[in-house]
A and B are shown apart, each in its own frame.
Chain A
Amino acid sequence: MGLVAYFDAASTEPLHPQAREALLAAIDVGWADPARLYGQARRAHLLLEQARTEVAEALGARPDEVSFTSSGTQAVHLGVLGTLHGRRRAGRRLVTGAVEHSSVLHAAGLHERAGGEVETVGVDLSGRVDAAAFAAAVARPDTALACLQTANHEVGTLQPVPEVAEACREHGVPLLVDAAQTAGRLPVPPGWSVLAASAHKWGGPAGVGVLAVRKGTRFHSYLPEDERERRRVPGFENVPAVVAAAAALRAMTAEAVRERSRLSALVDRIRQTVPEVVPDVEVIGDPVERAPHIVTFSCLYVDGEVLLTELDKAGFAVSSGSSCTASTLRPSHVLEAMGVLTHGNVRVSLPRGASAAEVDRFLAVLPDVVRRIRQDAGVA
C-alpha cells in the first residue's frame, strides 16, 4: 500500500506525539491506585489531579467539576441519565436536537422507554436546530434537561449553543453540551450545565471521556454507588491514558488558532472545488458556521460503499453516512433529518497536520473515481 491520506479525524484523531510521550511515561509511574495512601499511589493521584486541572482549564470548567469516563459515549450516557435522575422531581421531559450523536439519542430512547418524555427539535437543510423552536421546547413545563452538540459530527454545522443556553438559563433548565467534535479545536461555548467530550477526538488515546458537571447542577448517577470520580463515574481510573489525554488537549489547544484557520481554508477549497469538478454533487452543511475540519458531500447516483472502497484503493481514508456503509442498513439519521441526499455520501474530516498537497491529490482523484462508478452503474 502506498501513500494514504487520513481524512477521518471526526471518527478519531491520530494520537498526538505529545500524548504518546506522556502515555509511555505515565504507564511507568502512574499505574498505582490513586485512592490509596502510599508513595506510588500518591504519585498516581497527583498525576490524575494535574491532568484534571489541565483538562478543566482547557474546557472552561473547575477541576472539581470534571470527571473522567471510559469514553465520550459513556460521558453522554452518564450525563444525560444522571441529570435526568437528579432532576426527576422537576420533571421528566428531555429536549434534544434531531442530529445529536447516537449516544444522546440512545440515552433519550432509554428514558422514553422508562416512561419519560422526549421532544426532538428539528433542523434546517444545513443541519442547524431552530434556536427559537428549541427555546420554546425548553420553556414547556416539566423540562428536566436539554441536550445540544457544539457542532454536528457528520456535516460540521455549528449549533446555536449560546442562544439555547440563554433560553435554558431563563427557564432554569440544565443544558448538556456535547463538545466531542470541537473540544481542543474551538473554545467551548459558555452556558453549559453538563459537558461531554472524548479524548481520542482531540488526539488523546481511546478510552478517556470527559464528563463535567457545573457546580449547582443537580446530578445523581443512575448506576450503583461507586466512590470514584466524585461518585459520577464507576470504576478504577485509567491514569496513564488520562495523563496522555490532558497532554494532547494542551498541545491541540496551543496549536488550535493557527491549525483551525489552516484546516478551515483547506475545507473551503474542498467545498468550492468539488462541485466544479464533479457534476451532480451536493455539498452539505453550513459553509461558514461550521467546525474547521469537517466537510461532507453527496454524489448523485453513486453507491456510498463503492465510493469509499474506491477512495480507499486510491489512498484516502474517509467516512460516509450512506446506508450501505452502516451496519443498520439505514442512512444516517443526521442526513435524514436534514432532508439531504443520503447516498453517495462522503465525509472528509482533516486531522492536525493534513497537508494542502494531500487535499489537492484528493481533488484530482475524485472526479475520475465518481465518473467510473457512475459509468459502471449505467448512468450517462
Chain B
Amino acid sequence: MTEVTQPALTIDALGKKCPIPIIMLADQINHVPLNAVVAVLADDPAAFTDVPAWCRLKSHKHVGSYELAGGGWAIHVRRNY
C-alpha cells in the first residue's frame, strides 16, 4: 500500500445518512490548512459515491477511500483552496 497522508482532521459520520456526512465535510474542510487531509468516517453506502462527487464539484481532491475494519470507510479529502 502506498503511503497515506495522516489526516489533519477526522470527521466521525459513522451511523449518519447522506447528506449529513457531506454537510459535515463542507462545514469543516476549512478548519484544516491548505493541502491538509480530512478523513470522513462514514458507513452510509451513499457516502462512498457522494464524497468523491462532492470533491469533483467543489474542486477538492479525493485522495482515496479505505475500508474500516468495523464496516464503512475512511474517505480522505485534500483541501485544495
| Residues of chain A whose beta carbon lies under 8 Å from any beta carbon of chain B | 280, 282, 300-303, 322-324, 329-331, 335-336, 339-344, 377-379
Contact = CB atoms under 8 A, between A and B. Distances in A.
Interface string B9-38: 000000001110011001000000000000
Given A322-B46, A323-B44, A330-B45, A302 B53 contact: no
A303 B19 contact: yes
Main secondary structure of the interface of B (DSSP, over half): helix
A341 B53 contact: yes
Contact of A300 (B44, B46, B48, B57): B57
Contacts of A330: 45-46
Interface in B22-81: 22-23, 26, 44-46, 48-50, 52-54, 56-57
Interface of B: 17-19, 22-23, 26, 44-46, 48-50, 52-54, 56-57
26 contacts: A282-B57, A300-B26, A300-B57, A301-B19, A301-B22, A302-B19, A303-B18, A303-B19, A323-B17, A323-B44, A324-B17, A324-B18, A330-B46, A331-B18, A331-B45, A335-B49, A339-B52, A339-B56, A341-B49, A341-B53, A341-B57, A343-B18, A343-B19, A343-B22, A343-B50, A377-B23
A331 B19 CA distance: 12
A331 B49 contact: yes
A302 B54 CA distance: 13
B23 A344 contact: no
Main secondary structure of the interface of A (DSSP, over half): loop
Nearest to B21: A343
A343 B57 contact: no
B30 to A, nearest CB: 12
B23 A378 contact: yes
A339 B48 CA distance: 9
Contacts of A339: 49, 52-53, 56
A236 B53 CA distance: 48
A300 B19 contact: yes
B45 A344 contact: no
Nearest to A331: B46
A193 B26 CA distance: 49
Nearest to A378: B23
Nearest to A306: B19
Contacts of B54: 300, 341
Contacts of B52: 339
B66 to A, nearest CB: 18
Contacts of A378: 23
What 6 pairs across the A-B complex have the smallest Cβ distances?
A343-B18, A343-B19, A341-B53, A331-B46, A323-B46, A342-B46
B22 A342 contact: no
Contact of B18 (A280, A282, A323, A379): A323
A184 B17 CA distance: 39
B6 to A, nearest CB: 26
A169 B64 CA distance: 40
Contacts of A302: 19
B47 to A, nearest CB: 9
A377 B57 contact: no
B17 to A, nearest CB: 7
Contacts of B26: 300-301, 379
Contacts of A342: 18, 46, 49-50, 53
